[in-house]
Amino acid sequence: MKIIIAEKPSLARNIAAAIGNGVKKNGYIACQEYLVTWAFGHLFSLVDIEDYAPTAHGRWCMDNLPCLPEKFRFALRKGKDGGRDEGVAKQFELIKALCTRADVDTIINAGDADREGEIIIRLCIQNAGVTDKRVQRLWLPDQTPETIRTALGSMKDAGEYDLLAGEGFARTYIDWLYGVNLTRFATLKTGTFLRVGRVIIPIVKAIYDRDMAIRHFKPEPYLAIVSAQETNGEKIELVSKNKFSADEQNKALALCAAYNEAGAYVTAVKRKKDKLNPGKLYSLSKLQNFLGKKYKMPMEESLKVAQKLYEEGYLTYPRTNSEYLATAEKDKIRKIIAAVAKKGYPVCFKDQKSIFDDSKIESHSALTPTYKIPDPARMTENEKIVYSAVMRRFVAVFCSEDCIADKTEIKIQCADEEFTLKGTVILEKGWTRFDDTERKNKMLPALKKGDAVNVNFQPVTKETHPPKHYTIETLNNYLKNPFREEKARLAEEASAEAVDDAEDYKAIFEGLELGTEATRTGIIDNARHSHYIELKKDVYRILPEGEYLIESLARMGISMDKYKTSEMGKALKKVYHGEYTVEDSVAIAKEEIRRVFAPTNDSLETDTDIGLYGDEMGVCPLCGQTVVRTKFGYGCRGYKEGCRFSINLTICGRVISAANVKQLLATGKTAKIKGFISKAGKPFDGALCLQEGKVNFDFSD
């Protein structure tokens, strides 16, 4: 007898249905030689800090921080109230009983086909105490009956997935180390619950940095050199690459005069009919980009719908980072094409490198429909939108009708500058009838080589523009490869043509992306629910709580930017590739966390330690009550009686440490403090002093 442990009840039902002749029992389904049971996602989670280092009062404190366990321990997941979850406990006891039955000789891990699904079921097996039975892995790219039956006949031993499990455990341990230690540290420092995590912080910081750049942007006028004259009855706009500052009017006018005197003429005209290629199949992020841009659908909604369609057998596994198919899947794709063709779509099999490329697949192929076609009448509106997007892209890629376009390129010479005009006219729509990509005709004037072009260049005053807020699409693209040059990324987003994506896949396989296709959506959703960011239509903006989070971490010297997060991502990938052990990657995280808690200053001149929220600093010079650390600085407890004495956490760009505040209150003056920044942006040093209950600078020494 074999026991199959599915990650969720819905998958267990699909597996049992594919096997057939199932009999429902209490918590499992008996199917021929299989017993099919399930988890509820995570049944186990890492224990909390207090399980390693209990405190007398049970409250968060610095006494047991940092917590860096030698060996991590798991326990059954608790309920929402923090107590025992009876449903979780009951289901695990059933799994344990089934695994230890005398007639069971094989246990099958049917977690979702990713690193998280891998460890969810492994933890169930490990905690059941089973060591003497064969363990196999059921790997399902989709949940159709045919795929399930095929996968059951070609399972590998669990050991084949040890590196994937290692990556999953390493990610779990590392995220716990960062999240638990730094969330408590930041919360105790600020007196405000701050959710700190390895990935959530660089995501929020990216939005913060962009919004700060927009907020502080000062438009600068410049002079563009533009001609917009008619030739043969058609307006031809030429914009010079030369630009001038607003005070260079004479230079701009001189260049305009030179261009106008030289005149312009056509040096080359290229026209050709060409086939336009469709976009690539969807990865999860590219699907979310499209749905966010066109339908303003939030990422968590698009993932939820895609996951549901996957569980119902209509789509392949959605959490994929690839836009390509595996060469081993060609027969499977032929069957899907046959099913799609029966619905009236003009599709045919295409064996092309732009579609099938093993080098650009890590674990999962691109998102596609399956041979199982849903009934639209039984789908919600969002299900129709998501499914239609995937189906239309699939049809476009395998369309038997080419899109034929007339492409024109005209080069115009004026003095020593060459201008290029490009136009495209769709002659035969082909696959564009099905894909949602908008392609508009751009007509060019009928010019031939040697034609004179009328010009009248004039300086036109324009202004520089601030960067744009992140959208679902642009944030997703940034997170997928945060080190790609912004100009290159924008050019790709604006282009309808296929581009070389080798750089992006290299970043994914090396672990440079921020988060993964499987985790990013949930992390961004957590940031929204924590009120750090907001999403309106498809535009992200920072919220005041998010500003406070990022600025507080900066004051505390906690740096969790894209560089450090990506370094940990690279370490996780090295575990997956067998280059690091789990312990190697965890050691890197532990060292980073030790640095946060280690004192970095032995001099008041450079000290930036702000102490803990509520720490007593000294006596108020105005009313004699106690000054304490507050959320935004240091303030008098007598504020309720009207005392307004306070000291900001930051003065002239410099964090004022608790030790310096104590010295200031005790003696009326600090020693010299280094690192202030003037309004003009120049660094300076100086002491702080108290004068009539106010803080001022003292440069007398």
Helix 115-127 crosses helix 86-99 at what angle (to 10 degrees)? 70
Q: What is the pLDDT of residue 601?
A: 64
Q: What totals of helices (H) and strands (E) does the chain contain, helices first?
A: 20, 27
> Which one, of 669, 657, 667, lies nearest residue 603 by Cα?
657
- What does the block give as tokens for 556? 């505390």
> Which one, of 319, 321, 299, 300, lies nearest residue 311 by Cα?
319
Q: What span, in angstroms and rounded, lies between the C-alpha atoms of 675 and 606?
A: 8
CA distances (Å), 644 to each of 163, 611, 623, 641, in order?
59, 21, 9, 9
- Phi/psi for 248 (5° steps) reads -110, 40
- The alpha helices in 376-443, defined as continuous H runs, are 381-397
> Which one, of 592, 519, 532, lies nearest residue 205 by Cα?
532
C-beta of residue 340 within 8 angstroms of C-beta of residue 116: no
Half-sphere exposure of 613 toward its Cβ, with a 13 Å CA cutoff? 17
Q: What is the pTM of this model?
A: 0.91
Contacts of 472 (CB under 8 A, 6+ apart): 288, 289, 292, 293, 298, 299, 535, 538, 540
Strand bridging mode 74-76 / 28-31: unpaired
CA distances (Å), 424 to each of 83, 273, 279, 442, in order?
65, 10, 17, 5
C-beta of residue 533 within 8 angstroms of C-beta of residue 546: yes
C-beta of residue 182 within 8 angstroms of C-beta of residue 68: no
Q: Which helix (H) or strand (E) holds 650?
A: strand 650-651
Q: What is the pLDDT of residue 642?
A: 92
C-beta of residue 114 within 8 angstroms of C-beta of residue 363: yes
- What does the block give as tokens for 548? 């406070």
Look at the block and give the residue holding tokens 């021929």: 32
Look at the block and give the residue holding tokens 């026209």: 271
Contacts of 691 (CB under 8 A, 6+ apart): none
Q: What is the pLDDT of residue 56?
A: 79
The maximal CA–CA distance of the chain, rounded, in angstroms, is: 97
Low-confidence ranges of the chain (pLDDT < 50): 493-498
C-beta of residue 177 within 8 angstroms of C-beta of residue 183: no
Q: What span, in angstroms and rounded, lies between the C-alpha atoms of 647 and 28?
A: 63
Length of the chain counted residue by residue: 701
State which amino acid sits at residue 559.
S
Q: Which helix (H) or strand (E) holds 569?
A: helix 562-576
pLDDT tens, residue by residue, 522-546: 999 999 999 999 999 999 999 999 9
CA distances (Å), 635 to each of 128, 223, 626, in order?
55, 51, 8
> Which one, of 554, 680, 647, lies nearest residue 212 by Cα?
554
Angle at 193 between CA 188 and CA 196, to 5 degrees: 90
Half-sphere exposure of 174 toward its Cβ, with a 13 Å CA cutoff? 29
Q: What is the pLDDT of residue 485?
A: 66
Contacts of 337 (CB under 8 A, 6+ apart): 347, 348, 349, 398
Q: What is the pLDDT of residue 545?
A: 97
CB count in 10 Å sphere of residue 157: 11
CA distances (Å), 131 to each of 134, 243, 269, in order?
8, 73, 74
Looking at residue 357, the DSSP 8-state letter turns out to be: -
Q: What is the pLDDT of residue 438?
A: 61
Q: What span, in angstroms and rounded, lies between the C-alpha atoms of 43 and 33?
A: 26
C-beta of residue 74 within 8 angstroms of C-beta of residue 46: yes
Q: What is the pLDDT of residue 561?
A: 83
- What does the block give as tokens for 695? 């803080």
Q: What span, in angstroms and rounded, lies between the C-alpha atoms of 212 and 206?
A: 10
Q: What span, in angstroms and rounded, lies between the C-alpha atoms of 97 and 91?
A: 10
Q: What span, in angstroms and rounded, lies between the C-alpha atoms of 220 and 222?
A: 7
Look at the block and give the residue holding tokens 């959506």: 521
Q: What span, in angstroms and rounded, lies between the C-alpha atoms of 399 and 455?
A: 45
CB count in 10 Å sphere of residue 463: 11
> Which one, of 661, 688, 659, 663, lies nearest residue 673 by Cα?
688
Q: Which helix (H) or strand (E) holds 22?
A: strand 22-24
CB count in 10 Å sphere of residue 329: 18
Q: Please provide the distance, in angstroms rounded to a whole number, between the alpha carbons at the two ends of the chain.
A: 85
CA distances (Å), 86 to each of 78, 133, 249, in order?
9, 28, 78
